[in-house]
Amino acid sequence: MKTIPDILLVDDNKEQCISLHDVLEEKGYSVEYLHNGKDAINLALKNRYELVITDIRLPDIPGTEVVSEISKSLPSTEFIYIIGHASLETAIEAVKQEHVISYETKPLSLDRLLSTINQIFKRRETEAKLKESGDLFRELAENIPEVFWVASPDFEQILYISPAFETVWGRTCKSLYEQPKSWTDNIHPDDCEKVIKALEKHVQGKASFAEEYRIIRPDGSIRWILDCAFSVKSASGATNRIIRIAKDITERKKMQESLLQSEKLKSIGTIASGVAHEFNNILAIISGNVQLLQVTYKDQEDLVETLRTIKRVADDGAKISSKMLQFSKTANDSIEYVPFDIRELIKQSIDFTIPRWRNMAQTKGINYDMNTENMKEIPNILCNPSEIREVFVNIINNALDAMPDGGCMTFSTWSNKDTVFIRISDNGEGMTGEVKDSIFDPFFTTKTAVGTGLGMSTAYGIINRHDGKIEVESEVRRGSIFTLQFPTTTKTDSPSELPEQEEKTISRSLRIMVIDDETAICDILDNFLSKKGHLVRTVDNGTEAIILTRNVDYDLVLCDIAMPEVSGYNVIKALNGLDKRPKIGLITGWGEEIKDVDKEDMMVDFIIRKPFDFPELTNHINTAFNTD
């Protein structure tokens, strides 16, 4: 059985052929021999030998012709010449042919010849392994999504670049081979200097290289890249190759930004919730006293008008407080959601903003184009229509601000199996990186002295509540693109509306307890309810309230939630455990959902939020008692 590739011996000395054949076979080689050149050529072309050992003088043709003819068809075959009479001329003739490895003189030195043959086959084995490794490397490099490249240290020459370069960079590999340093042309201007300096330090051996940076593809899209470089050094320690692996991490960055934004909103939301509670208590005191004064001095028109102004400002403050909480709210309250065609909501939002983008613009001699031609048919989404309209109105108004001299907005819709996509683009001034990174932060605004800065943060919260996503792409002087996505729904029905109930006013006097650690609110409610003919008792802590309700039967208890030591939750639980349970109204300055109110021991009859209007409170009380 053959253990290594074949060897062909060509020599007219038959005894020498047999002798050499036996020695090589004994060493494990598979050997055949012939005694003339033409037969050797024919047999070699048929059997494709790895090595041919030929006498340079054969009876029919010279050995050089044997080498020449076989080499034409089998360029991988190598040759050793056997020379009977060594001379300078024969040596030169022997080695000047490309595939001739060496020549041996007669009488042959078997040790020398065997050493040469062993070296040839060891080298060929190494080359085969290297080729196999190279093929494997190329197969791997060409089938991974990362960009793999090998370059000279000065990047004057690209030795290899994987096909993934075309997918990630959006350019051809040929363009990089032709202009090796042109890869930097695609780096985002804000990142370019940093990346080049870091790579130079790595080549100089001063630092490792692992950089995240942005590239701008020829189509204008921006991708995030994680680029790592490794130096291949010579024995002297000099860098002679740079190997780099570059990965597209755009989706990971988007996920990180989304998580960061969510955590940011969560943290700020916790703070905002506490601030809103205290703010609402203050507004409740202002609003309550104003309403009392309006009733007392209703005949003094000048004073009443002033009070209306104060009340209106207090109500505006309550709206800001509400928005502070909306942007951080993430709960999906699907009870309020209905199936809706989002294209209709876009059209409604465009119509809603007409006074600004059409009527007002025309008075200034400018024009806005609202392009909706790319709004393709899409499935419905389950949503709160008014909230989604608010998102679109905010985006449209921001785009109009970015196009003070007029411009174009383009609306596109499409969908896949389970997701609806909306893209809204404008050709306005665009945003800097800093503005783009902060656009969804609460209280961030570029409109000096205009607005609260809650518009886009509220939009972000709305989209989160709908299990959606929003992304923004923008560059200065290149406009902005907002891409939104929402899950689709197969539902087509809408929740039925409850019939309106006839309102009846309670005519009898009620025994009412008011519990609030803000004594000013207690005084306001005492004043208002007492004038309505009710018997009112105010308490500023939960402990005393629980003791009193055990000894006195109250018709109604109005209770705050956040109180020191004993909270409103504890009071409600105690009230629900009484033999004669009173009606319970929860009055709170907190904006989030009230927990556990659907549990048996936490049942309440109504919830009213601070600051409240007296008619609203009266309506809740009447409704609670009219249900009996």
Mean pLDDT, 10 residues at a time, the chain of 628 residues: 69 87 87 90 88 88 87 87 67 67 80 86 79 67 79 86 88 89 89 90 84 90 90 79 88 76 62 66 79 81 80 73 56 66 90 78 83 92 86 89 90 92 92 77 52 64 86 88 88 42 60 90 89 89 90 91 84 89 85 57 83 87 78
**CATH domain 334-487 topology:** Heat Shock Protein 90 (3.30.565)
Position 496 scores a pLDDT of 40
Backbone angles phi, psi at 52, to 5 degrees: -120, 125
- With a threshold of 0.85, does the pTM exceed it? no
pLDDT value for 103: 76
What is the phi-psi region of residue 331: left when phi exceeds 0, alpha when psi lies from -120 to 50, beta otherwise?
A: beta
pLDDT at 294 (0 to 100): 80
pLDDT at residue 264, as a whole number: 62
- Give the domain 6-131 fold: Rossmann fold (3.40.50)
**Residue labelled with tokens 């003819």:** 69
The whole-angstrom separation of Cα 173 and Cα 183 is: 10
The one-letter code for the residue type at 89 is E
511-626 has which fold?
Answer: Rossmann fold (3.40.50)
Please report the pLDDT score of residue 495 as a whole number. 41
Strands 209-216 vs 100-105: parallel, antiparallel or unpaired: unpaired
| Gap between the Cα atoms of 74 and 78, Å rounded | 9
The full set of domain ranges for the chain reads: 6-131, 147-248, 334-487, 511-626
Res 28: pLDDT: 84
Distance CA 511, CA 537 (A): 8
Cβ contacts of 563 within 8 Å, gap of 6 or more: 515, 516, 517, 541, 542
Q: Please check whether the two domains, 6-131 and 147-248, share a CATH topology.
A: no
* CA–CA gap between residue 175 and residue 224 (Å, rounded): 21
Which has the closest alpha carbon to 567: 603, 525, 516, 606? 516
Q: How close are the terminal C-alpha atoms of the chain, in Å?
A: 104
Q: What is the pLDDT of residue 597?
A: 57
Please tell me the distance from the alpha carbon of residue 98 to that of residue 224, in angstroms, as a whole number.
50
Structure tokens at 564: 């020191």
- The CATH superfamily of 147-248 is PAS domain (3.30.450.20)
**Burial class of residue 356 in the structure, from the number of CB atoms within 10 Å of its CB (0-12 exposed, 13-18 middle, 19+ buried):** middle
Alpha helices in 99-145 (DSSP H): 110-141
Q: Give the per-residue pLDDT at 202.
A: 86
Listed residue (517, 530, 521, 605) closest to 561, CA to CA = 517
Q: At what angle do helices 455-465 and 250-296 cross, to 10 degrees?
A: 110
